[in-house]
Amino acid sequence: MYENAFLTATVLLIGQQCPTGIRSATSGRQGALRRIVCQRCGDVIESKSELVTTLSLLQGIMPYHLDCHAQNQKGWNAGATPINSQATIAIMIIGLIVCTVLLVIIKSWVFVVAGLLAPLLRLLSWLIYERFLP
């Protein structure tokens, strides 16, 4: 059981099997640049200005083109807020300030966890998708 988990983790690290939305630009060499594929249209996302990442509770962090995300918002997935937008960053900063104040006043570590959720999602979005784009 542990051997299979180790092999799966090793294959993911080498790049031969990539998470959803990422395709290897070369034949699986470690450290190779990767192409990010839009979840709606299936085309390659060329730059960070075209990329919108959203959090889906069932599928995780998903990459979209800017236009595809706008079309996706018109459908049933209207609650998918972009993780990599300036508005989300402003909300994260306000949330961190509020959670820090509540931590000082109430002295409960629950506010630390709540305050770090959004920045950790933003970091995960960058690690999975944005760092591979010019």
Domain ranges of the chain: 2-132
Residue 78 pLDDT: 57
- Does pTM top 0.85 for this prediction? no
Place of tokens 């993911």: 12
**pLDDT, average across residues 37-65:** 87
| Three-state secondary structure of the chain | CHHHHHHHHHHHHHCCCCCCCEEECCCCCCCCCEEEECCCCCCEECCCCCEEEEEECCCEEEEEEHHHHHHHHHCCCCCCCECCCHHHHHHHHHHHHHHHHHHHHHCCCHHHHHHHHHHHHHHHHHHHCHHHCC
Residue 8 pLDDT: 38
Confidence of residue 113 (pLDDT cuts 50, 70, 90): confident
Residue 28 pLDDT: 45
**pLDDT, average across residues 91-107:** 86
Percent of the chain with pLDDT over 90: 4
Would you give the end-to-end CA distance of the chain in angstroms?
Answer: 39
Paired with 22 in beta bridges are 36
